[in-house]
Amino acid sequence: MYIYLPIAEQPIHSLVIIGVGLIIGFIMGLVGVGGGFLLTPIMMFLGIPPPVAVASVANQLVAPSVSGVLSHWKRGNVDFKMGTVLLLGGVLGSSIGVILFNFLDKIGQLDLVIKLSYVIFLSLIGSMMFTESLRLILRKRKGKISRGKLHQHNWLHGLPFKTRFRKSKLYISILLPILIGVIVGVLAAIMGIGGGFIIVPAMIYLLGMPTSLVVGTSLFQIIFVAANTTVLQASQNQTVDIVLATLLLLGSVAGVQIGAKFTNVLKGEHLRLILSSIIILVSLKILTELITIPSDLFSIIIRR
């Protein structure tokens, strides 16, 4: 059944959108990371304008994040003090990101920046994840598994304004989590992502947080960053398509539950290897679209 998307200003088959949400939700439940970094590019592949895809996907992240936080809260796996500091930076960053979003839209470079950002970040994240997973698989086959330190102390840990995070058993500068939050907030506004694939490694390797607290704390700050981005995008740019976001939400909620049931089928490193392969393929697809733009312009100039 076709349904009209009022903000995207185009009809689209509702089952296609629900199906995409189902697949992304399945990946979220299977691997344990948010699907915004895959969902936004897929929406663009389906013809949704990049600004609408970014804003609508950011809106869709709120509900799953709330559900995830409640689940982790019951297990005592949320550091609310750390999450509050991260969300302060995230709200600031997302506000800056929306301003930058408006500026890029006015000068006509928004679509290009969104696609280019995805090419850069997806290729970097995908290649690093692929390499790490492949290396771990080969080491396990050879029986050479050694556990190293999760994080190394560097000059960042010498920054001023140190505070104690008792839940995470950390004594670090408050500036470090704020800076991480700002970066994730800007990316959330520009790329329509929750930033989990960036903030989770940062919390582990830069902040040195216990792994058991990372996911719940990350989801806690994503709720407010995604909500702030949604409100600003809706009020200033009118780019949030509620119909699109609702259809995606219906599919992703079901997909998460299905994916969670398959988590024991494959080992973690194999799951990350599959996910990284998908990420790399998506980045290559976006890159091919970017490459065709200059060639089209060149052919037009030659004809003239």
And the tokens for 157? 């840990």
The CA distance from 73 to 64, in Å, is 14
Contact 189/94 with Cβ under 8 angstroms? yes
Those residues with Cβ within 8 angstroms of residue 290's Cβ, 6 or more apart along the chain or in another chain: 112, 115, 116, 119
Q: Look at the block and give the residue holding tokens 């492949």.
A: 134
And the tokens for 104? 């890029």
pLDDT at 34: 57
pLDDT at 303: 52
Contact 77/213 with Cβ under 8 angstroms? yes
Q: Of the candidates 19, 13, 18, 33, which has an alpha carbon nearest to the alpha carbon of residue 263?
A: 33
Element (H, E) at 171: strand 170-173
Contact 119/286 with Cβ under 8 angstroms? yes
Please list the ranges in the chain whose pLDDT falls under 50. 147-150, 295, 297-298, 300-302
And the tokens for 1? 């059944």
And the tokens for 205? 């390797």
Q: In 3-state terms, what secondary structure has residue 3?
A: strand
Distance of CA 199 to the CA centre of its chain: 9
pLDDT at 39: 80
Q: What is the pLDDT of residues 57-69, one digit of tens each?
A: 777 677 667 766 7
Packing angle of the helix pair 50-60, 110-142 (nearest 10 deg):
50
Residue 302 CB: number of other CB atoms within 10 A? 7
Those residues with Cβ within 8 angstroms of residue 123's Cβ, 6 or more apart along the chain or in another chain: 280, 283, 287
3-state SS record for 127-163: HHHHHHHHHHHHHHHHCCCCCCCCCCCCHHHHCCCEE
Q: Look at the block and give the residue holding tokens 């006015």.
A: 106
pLDDT at 167: 83
pLDDT at 298: 46
The CA distance from 70 to 60, in Å, is 17
Contact 242/110 with Cβ under 8 angstroms? no
And the tokens for 58? 């950011």
Residue 83 CB: number of other CB atoms within 10 A? 25
pLDDT at 193: 66
The CA distance from 91 to 156, in Å, is 22
pLDDT at 217: 82
The CA distance from 125 to 33, in Å, is 13
